[in-house]
Amino acid sequence: MITLRGLTKRFGATVAVDALTVDIAPGRVTGFLGPNGAGKSTTMRMILGLDRPTSGTALVDGRSYRELRRPLHEVGALLDARAVHPARSGRAHLLAMARSNGISARRVDEVLDTVGLDGSAAAKPGRTLSLGMGQRLGIAGALLGDPPVLMFDEPVNGLDPDGVRWVRHLLRSLAGQGRTVFVSSHLMSEMQLTADQLVVIGRGRLLADAPVGDVIAGSGQAVRVRSPHPEGLATLAARLGAHGAIVEPAGPDELTVTGTTVDRIGDLAYELGVRLHELSPHGASLEQAFMELTADSVEYAGGPTGGDAR
């Protein structure tokens, strides 16, 4: 569990993180989203004791990172895949980390195997590693102490599609083991597939802390519902409306529903005994929801595209 309470960081007159209060729970992947400059990296650095909060607290299982006796056994993190000595091999890099934390060399070989770095790749000096290989080495470092809490900042940068899919399955597997998994990314489509919960910030302030489906539903995602039983469909429509959803008839056997999720509609239809022939989302995506949430929080906005640039 990661617990943030009123977490604030100021750099002179600039407020990078503004009274952030949130719980990052175990057993699920929590995506950490925000525009460039929103304060995501600063938040992660404060959790890891690399930046000192101006006010508020950042705790891991009830303690600050500085109080952890064996930090790699309790928190694993990848913040910068380039943080490797340019002349040191990947395996030597991990061995140095292991020795300083009482971890065996056997565990180094285990995590190298987990991330897909074989002997020749692990023997390469840091300056020769591609971005993707560096990411895999950084993930191996995070896993080294077999910690219950894991943090990853943009872990799929530089990875090919197979590598991106591998990271997705890894994160979900780690969460399935009951670990706390906190991951930042700018790839909305990947977060939609990977995360269970989302924490969205803008200009250092909390904008959303909710399940992925709820964040998308809040952007006006439409759900198409079809049933061969008009009476049952009418009953379902009434109950959905009573729960705050917006329901519009789209034909004698079809509804268009916004303001709720596919899962909630399906559960309610099951409860009412209404047989469905279709229950499918249409329209909104996490990218659309994110853009709407952060529209007033973008620090660096480009101008309009198109036309004749001279």
Local structure of residue 120 (DSSP, 8 states): H
Q: Looking at the chain, which residues constitute the CATH 3.40.50.300 domain(s)?
A: 2-210
Q: What is the pLDDT of residues 122-159, one digit of tens each?
A: 888 888 888 888 899 999 999 999 999 999 999 998 88
Contact by Cβ (8 Å): 75, 68: yes
Per-residue pLDDT band at 22 (split at 50, 70, 90): very high
Superfamily of domain 222-282, CATH level 4: UreE, C-terminal domain (3.30.70.790)
pLDDT at 310: 37
* CATH architecture classification, 2-210: 3-Layer(aba) Sandwich (3.40)
Per-residue pLDDT band at 307 (split at 50, 70, 90): very low
Q: Determine the Cα–Cα distance for residues 280 and 289; give it in Å rounded to an integer.
A: 18
Residue 179, phi then psi, degrees to nearest 5: -85, 160
pLDDT at 283: 63
DSSP per residue over 142-201, as a string? HHTT--SEEEEESTTTT--HHHHHHHHHHHHHHHHTT-EEEEE-S-HHHHHHH-SEEEEE
DSSP per residue over 30-41, as a string? EEEE--TTSSHH
Q: Percent of the chain beyond pLDDT 90? A: 68
Q: Looking at the chain, which residues constitute the CATH 3.30.70.790 domain(s)?
A: 222-282
Per-residue pLDDT band at 222 (split at 50, 70, 90): confident
pLDDT at 19: 97
Per-residue pLDDT band at 107 (split at 50, 70, 90): very high
Amino acid occupying residue 31: G
Per-residue pLDDT band at 293 (split at 50, 70, 90): confident
CA distance between the termini of the chain: 53
Contact by Cβ (8 Å): 26, 12: no
Task: List, in order, residues 6 or more apart from 92 with CB less than 8 Å away.
Answer: none
Encoding tokens for residue 292?
């709407």
Average pLDDT over residues 103-116: 94
Average pLDDT over residues 23-38: 96
